[in-house]
Amino acid sequence: MQITHTPIDGCYELVPRVFEDGRGYFFESFNLRNFQEATDQDINFVQDNQSFSTKGVLRGLHYQKGASAQAKLVRVLEGEVLDVAVDIRKDSPSYGQVFTTVLSAKNNKQLFIPRGCAHGFVTLSKTATFFYKCDNYYDPKAETGIIYNDERFGIDWILPKASLIISEKDLVLPTYSDYVNH
């Protein structure tokens, strides 16, 4: 597995080595020992989540705050998404930076997003099945986020704004400046 550091401190792209033959394919999607050696991150995943979305569904930018913060390892089992990580850790050398990558069932890439980063994605294909591991349990009292279209980040979500499908909950998330001044 190839593990590459992104411009966000502690955020990594993982690309597995895929073995294909006439029967299909095989790859190791995660190996704790290799991950720890490559990243120097001590991680213990405790919860797996999966979502299904249709084209244009945008989820994010989400995170959990305080003691309930979560690191995530995300990937796409079916379809294709634009995945987005935003560093909102005030003491981070990459504070305020954005990283985007396309995750798909075809490229098998994964993204490790450290605690303290906001995360979101938009479905680019007709449908997508999104899977992620978390190192902390979901806590509805700690759930929050930043509005997806905040001008501070200038995220290009690839799809036209009129085609985006966004939950009411995500449409009322605060701006980055509201987060900073909070």
Please identify every residue annotated as catalytic.
62, 132
In whole angstroms, what is the distance from residue 52 CA to residue 106 CA?
A: 17
Pairing relationship of beta strands 57-64 and 165-166 according to DSSP bridges: parallel
134 Cβ partners below 8 Å, 6+ apart? 45, 46, 47, 48, 49, 70, 71, 72
Instruction: Give the tokens for residue 74.
Output: 């995300």
4 Cβ partners below 8 Å, 6+ apart? 12, 13, 14, 15
In whole angstroms, what is the distance from residue 97 CA to residue 93 CA?
A: 9
Say which DSSP state 163 is in: G
Pairing relationship of beta strands 143-145 and 57-64 according to DSSP bridges: antiparallel
